[in-house]
Chain A
């Protein structure tokens, strides 16, 4: 019987053939946790499970990104604990303050490989599907168990096949595609399922990461793109890693990219999606360009192309937080950062930034933010009386220039 990409990867990791609906115990090739969760993972590992050591320090990665650098004594203490844990356990893969966002580094640093299962203590671990890995987010206890055993258990998901064709119209990008899809399927439209994206061969790795990162916003367990030559150029892709032509999908969705317009998620739910043309004119105080969803060089390039030679509107703050140190260094080297600064942007330490409302751009009551991140829940970025709209880097740049939510096609070059 034909297998989906998820069924193939999980079969390999389980050591026997599985299909959707089976319970499987799988080898995990990389498990990661971050500064905000590490303390509780260490507690469960050592105190509740009584584990002396992690199963294999080479298959563990640690990141300081959620509040980096620390914003108060409590977070500083948590980071001290994380660093000590790495030392005690002989974990070499510790990416400290300023190195960047966990999901970005998992792919950028080659910590996750096509055809493997990787776990993160963060829901956007679905990002790893961009290179054909089964990445999924889990909580403290599951991560601690994976640290202790190098394995996890999971139910093999059914898959939804998204088949795209055509090309984006000018001003429209991968972010608009995934927002449109979330709007169509809803916040639980892919619950317990994997989403396989077909026909995105023309797109960059960065765009695939944007798409896969937000699969979790439809409830998906994983979001995957079958690897192609682009991925083979940078990562070892096993020959068996493709979905069978006769694989079973619970749902198939066809999308003509040329029909998609720039999209925006409205407060306070990611699946409240509308074309940007319907919300044009909403006054904005802050624009955030960054996050694991849209903080890559491609995103900074896109924003810079609109901002070049212009200046952001009076009364708007444009926060740029690159997804990693490498993204920042590259954007400095190729002049992108100069363009952004000349346009009036301010730049923060690579990391999660204000996405989850803990530092570096927390919103006050009555403030409105257009963010390129992935969640606009009430209070997510600060005051519960603030409003968050989600959009693409192009929409973010257009909005920063206008001072209100604006259609990037009016500024597109």
Chain B
């Protein structure tokens, strides 16, 4: 079972990983310890591998800093489910191979700290008696996730999504 860490709307990348705690400032090794360090200090201490973030609208807005989703990945976050994602955050997280799903109902009806089970392949989030089908991402997104990120995708295919083989 995974635990849900629930967040509200417009959580920006300065909340996920403040610029003052960037690898540039403090070194790369401490990155996971600094996730949500001021916004939700208990997060980095208590998060377990496989836990899930559930958020409101526009999750990850603001800076293009990839170390924000990287910090969540280093913490072992298995997936992020939000009502919507900020564009650059979505792409950065996808590039790192973090599964992302959009859902209106799951994010409203599942409580913070609730134990859930997520089937990433099927796109189903189960919380107690309830099963929430998650909107499947577009095919190219699924393929990037399947490979584990854009670097792995590119190394395997030798091309970008949307690029012909020739």
Contacts and interface: CB of A to CB of B under 8 A. Distances in A.
B24 A78 contact: yes
B61 to A, nearest CB: 6
A356 interface: yes
Nearest to B26: A74
A35 B58 contact: no
Contacts of A141: 66, 92, 95-96, 149-151
B155 A49 contact: yes
A285 interface: no
Contacts of B61: 187-188, 219
B67 interface: yes
Contacts of B50: none
Contacts of B27: 74
B19 to A, nearest CB: 4
A80 interface: no
A41 to B, nearest CB: 9
A188 B11 CA distance: 12
A25 B19 contact: no
By size class, the interface of chain A is 35 or more
B65 interface: yes
B136 interface: no
Interface in B1-53: 10, 12, 14-15, 18-20, 22-28, 38-39
Interface string B87-111: 1100110011000000000000000
B142 to A, nearest CB: 14
B25 A358 contact: yes
A356 B95 contact: no
Contact of A142 (B24, B87, B91): B91
B10 A269 contact: yes
A24 interface: yes
**Number of chain B interface residues as a range:** 35 or more
B19 A357 contact: yes
B97 to A, nearest CB: 10
Nearest to B154: A145
Nearest to B163: A25
Contact of B62 (A25, A120, A145, A377): A377
A49 B155 CA distance: 7
A23 interface: yes
Interface string B122-166: 000000000000000000100000000111001100011111000
Contacts of B150: 141-142, 145
B162 A153 contact: yes
Contacts of A121: 64
Contacts of A378: 14-15, 38-39
B14 A380 contact: yes
Contacts of B92: 138-142
B107 to A, nearest CB: 15
Nearest to A190: B87
Contacts of A221: 87
A138 B95 CA distance: 11
Interface in A83-140: 120-123, 137-140
B62 A152 contact: no
A375 B64 CA distance: 13
Contacts of B160: 25, 145, 149, 151-153
Interface in A215-242: 219, 221
A74 B38 contact: no
B78 to A, nearest CB: 20
Nearest to A155: B162
A186 to B, nearest CB: 8
Contact of B23 (A39, A188, A379): A39
A338 interface: no
A36 interface: yes
A39 B24 contact: yes
15 contacts: A23-B162, A36-B19, A39-B24, A40-B66, A67-B25, A74-B27, A137-B88, A138-B88, A153-B163, A188-B57, A191-B84, A269-B10, A375-B62, A379-B38, A384-B38
Interface of A: 22-25, 35-37, 39-40, 44, 48-49, 66-67, 72, 74-75, 78, 120-123, 137-142, 145, 149, 151-153, 187-188, 191-192, 219, 221, 269, 356-358, 362, 375, 377-380, 382, 384
Interface of B: 10, 12, 14-15, 18-20, 22-28, 38-39, 57-58, 61-67, 84, 86-88, 91-92, 95-96, 140, 149-151, 154-155, 159-163
Given A191-B87, A358-B20, 5 more contacts: A24-B162, A40-B67, A357-B20, A375-B63, A377-B14
